[in-house]
């Protein structure tokens, strides 16, 4: 992490960060001061985390294990309680932020989770599949650590021209859009492919599209004082969510 970047963020609310290749993991170190700024570079991650949390079933016991793959700064924890929340991520600086918010941090690649088979009641993978080089291995690992009857909740970005326009060409320049160069659109994930990969591991995934509320987004543009609701969309050509159960034995 770069202290000069952090202080620039705190003092001015905006900062210049190094120009890095698309999807370079070091960008999350550059952006470490942004995780919990609701109107900052990761604003949309807060909107998405809230929508994601609504797909997670309530936990009957705080001992139930929720594994948050690619947890980043642990934003999901703000919208969801009741679980033992274990966060897995490659970025140490993000894990430190998550740990300070009550997430149990595990530094690892989504494609090789250092967790026992069938240990998790819920596995969440929010806005991470579009960043991983080995999607097949990541889906296999998410499915492996999930217990039979357990729930998986995911959201990611569709491999479409519309998503490239909305979330890269245009979106990276819009307030509330993704940080510049954070995505490599070559890694965007077709919904049918994700459904197929999960099906190979006994998880039947149902997907649905998401879009920001236009009214909320216009208000965010003007006032930046309130989160934007993510609403169901008939189209899965942009951001989409998936929820599935692992077959019982
Ligand atoms: C867009 S952020 C999403 C963070 C969090 N899920 C959220 O929605 O707030 C993507 C996160 O995935 C992590 N990541 C990227 N590739 C990864 C990999 N192969 N294994 C584990 N984490 C990864 C990054 O470090 C980053 O924290």
- Local confidence pLDDT in tens for the 249 residues of the chain: 333 333 334 333 456 789 999 999 999 999 999 999 999 999 999 999 999 999 999 999 999 999 999 999 999 999 999 999 999 999 999 999 999 999 999 999 999 999 999 999 999 999 999 999 999 999 999 999 999 999 999 999 999 999 999 999 999 999 999 999 999 999 999 999 999 999 999 999 999 999 999 999 999 999 998 899 999 999 999 999 999 999 987
User: Which of 103, 141, 145 shows the shortest CA–CA distance to 122?
Assistant: 145
pTM for the predicted model, two decimal places: 0.94
Give the list of residues 6+ apart from residue 22 with CB closer than 8 angstroms, or none: 181, 182, 183, 184
Say how far apart CA 237 and CA 33 lie, in whole Å: 31
Neighbours of 148 (CB within 10 A): 11
List the domains of the chain with CATH numbers: 3-246 (3.40.50.150)
Give pLDDT, residue 147. 98
Name the residue with the closest Cα to ligand 1, atom 25.
91
Say how far apart CA 179 and CA 18 lie, in whole Å: 12
Q: How many Cα atoms are found within 13 Å in the side-chain-facing hemisphere of 118?
A: 7
Ligand 1 center from residue 89 Cα (angstroms): 6
Q: Which residue of 38, 74, 89, 109 sits with most ligand 1 atoms within 8 Å of its CB, as the best mutation to test the pocket?
A: 89
């Amino acid at each position: 992490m770069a202290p000069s970047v952090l202080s620039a963020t705190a003092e001015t609310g905006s900062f210049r960060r190094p120009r890095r290749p698309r999807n370079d993991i070091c960008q999350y170190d550059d952006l470490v001061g942004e995780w919990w700024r609701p109107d900052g570079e990761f604003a949309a991650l807060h909107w998405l985390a809230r929508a994601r949390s609504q797909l997670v079933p309530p936990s009957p016991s705080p001992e139930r294990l929720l594994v948050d793959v690619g947890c980043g700064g642990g934003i999901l924890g703000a919208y969801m309680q009741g679980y033992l929340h274990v966060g897995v991520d490659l970025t140490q600086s993000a894990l430190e932020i998550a740990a300070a918010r009550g997430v149990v941090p595990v530094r690892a690649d989504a494609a090789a989770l250092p967790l026992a088979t069938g240990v998790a009641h819920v596995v969440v993978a929010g806005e991470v599949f579009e960043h991983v080089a080995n999607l097949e291995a990541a889906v296999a690992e998410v499915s492996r650590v999930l217990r039979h009857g357990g729930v998986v909740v995911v959201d990611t970005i569709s491999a479409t021209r519309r998503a490239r326009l909305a979330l890269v060409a245009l979106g990276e320049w819009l307030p509330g859009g993704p940080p510049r160069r954070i995505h490599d659109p070559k890694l965007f994930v077709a919904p049918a492919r994700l459904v197929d990969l999960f099906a190979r591991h006994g998880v039947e995934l149902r997907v649905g599209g998401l879009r920001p509320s236009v009214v909320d987004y216009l208000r965010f543009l003007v006032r930046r004082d309130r989160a934007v609701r993510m609403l169901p969309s008939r189209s899965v050509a942009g951001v989409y969510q998936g929820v599935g159960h692992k077959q019982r034995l």
